[in-house]
Structure 1
Amino acid sequence: MKAESIQQIKKTLTEINTRDDERIKEWQQDERSGVQQALKQWERRIQRHEKELAHLEEMQQFEKNARAQGHRLIVGIDEVGRGPLAGPVVAAAVILPEKFQLLGVDDSKKLSAKKRDELYNEIQNQAISIGIGMVDHNQIDDINIYQAAKLAMSIALEDLSFIPDYLLIDAMKLDVKIPQESIIKGDARSVSIAAASIVAKVIRDRLMEDYAKMYPGYGFENNAGYGTKEHLNGLREQGICAIHRKTFAPIKDML
């Protein structure tokens, strides 16, 4: 029987995600260097896959603990946009299914824009419900950024299609009569909060890209309103625009 081509083996390896497959043992006996190189690449991919599985398992512990207490609709809540000099603060509330198995979900700040977009689409497809809350620059100036972030989270919670029975929140407590858990660095420790951080980040970044067309010269499409060199240069050259937060330095010093 004619041996499989190296190209065929490489293609098949892309579809194998377990070490138990008998074909792996057969190919390990193949003396062709191309086959052995393909197996090394497969091994690296499997190690990454196993690491991602272990990370997902670790990030589901808060959800599993809540379910062990009898809770079923568990929502993760997070916000983005506390630090920028312009634009709104955006929060997301995400209820994931119990058997959620999307690999790669993590704190949105650790992910590339491309990866965030990919995960955002999958979260949209798999989530039981997603709520969005947004508080604009004017209200941020009126009530301060901490209260604005809290308000955005509350709006996101109310925007859900279902009333959850347990809240997992990134470093915040909400004034609602639902059992809740405030988790420091929750976006890196809870899969539900991480999913919320990704959704909120993608929505806010896309909004800031739209604002960049309305208010060019500040680089909003690149910096999402944060105080980068490009943004600060724009402020010096053009002054403030309609979406700048007037209670934030250096903007408040320019009024």
Structure 2
Amino acid sequence: MARTPPDSLFPDLPPVPDYRFERHMSESGFSFIAGLDEAGRGPLAGPVVAAAVVLDPSAIPAGLNDSKALSRKSREALFEEIIASSAIGVASASAREIDATDIRKASLNAMRRALVALPVKAGYALVDGRDVPQDLPCASRALIKGDARCLSIAAASIVAKVVRDRIMTRAALIHPHYGFDSHMGYGSARHLAAIAEHGPCALHRMSFRPLRKD
């Protein structure tokens, strides 16, 4: 994993994400510009999910934004529009992988796998955050607050969040004691009470406090 210096190409934070980064890279000779983001770094349970999205510049869904700035209903609607009009790759890192490495490494590994899973060969990757994964198959740069600045990263944030929420909703059917469909694995009072009563399950990240014992 490489750490890049803070980007300076477009240092201003726009009111909503825009297509300037992708347009700049396209004008520099790159094709299939992918945005990469992840969801689920903070929860006590479940995978971290990463998505790579190559938008069609002629069919960008209206209303794309950082997934955290959207309601669940809006995310779900935009998710359907994104998958209908864009090239998408999705990957995850399980709780066991997170425990075996750490959440930063697992997140970056998931983003690399998501990029490789794209149905097109990305020419350039715009990665949310300060770091870019090692061994990406294309040129790349990290964008701090990229999900609030870059439309492709915003789209990736939506895809990653919706896919992860659906995983945790299904996990609630298998492990009904924990209420995963309500808190998505985060450390809510209900979740902590369920862990205290029933103990952890296979989806819990045992390297995270308060599950970690040292």
TM-score between both structures, scaled by the size of structure 1: 0.75
Residue 106 of structure 1 deviates from its aligned partner by: 0.6
The answer to whether 1:215 aligns with 2:175 is: yes
The answer to whether 1:77 aligns with 2:77 is: no
Whichever residue aligns with residue 147 of structure 2, its letter is D
Counterpart Cα distance in 1 of 2:34 and 2:111? 11
1:152 maps to 110
Q: Render the CA deviation track for 1:196-254: whole Å, top value 9, x for unaligned.
A: 0100100000000011111112221011101011111111111111110010000113x
| Unmatched tracts of structure 1, length 5 or more | 1-53
Counterpart Cα distance in 1 of 2:156 and 2:40? 13
Instruction: Give the direction of change, closer, same or farther, for the CA distance of 1:93–1:104 in structure 2 (3 Å limit).
Output: same
Whichever residue aligns with residue 173 of structure 1, its letter is V
RMSD: 1.5
2:203 maps to 243
Map residues 167-186 of structure 1 onto 2, 5 A cutoff. Answer: 167-171=125-129, 172-175=131-134, 176-186=136-146
Identity of aligned residues (%): 43
The answer to whether 1:229 aligns with 2:185 is: no
2:5 maps to none
Please identify which structure carries the higher strand content.
2
The answer to whether 1:109 aligns with 2:68 is: yes
Counterpart Cα distance in 2 of 1:153 and 1:59? 21
Please identify which structure carries the higher helix content.
1
Residue 124 of structure 1 deviates from its aligned partner by: 0.5
3-state DSSP of counterpart to 1:77: strand
Counterpart Cα distance in 2 of 1:242 and 1:230? 18
TM-score between both structures, scaled by the size of structure 2: 0.89
Q: Which has the higher contact order (CA 8 A, sep 6+)?
A: 2
| Unmatched tracts of structure 2, length 5 or more | 1-13
Considering only CA atoms, is the larger Rg found in Structure 1 or Structure 2? 1
Residue 177 of structure 1 deviates from its aligned partner by: 4.9
Residue 101 of structure 1 deviates from its aligned partner by: 3.3
Counterpart Cα distance in 1 of 2:65 and 2:154? 5
Query: How many residues were matched structurally?
Result: 199
Runs of 4+ with deviation above 6 angstroms: none
Which stretch has the larger CA shift, 203-212 or 217-226? 217-226
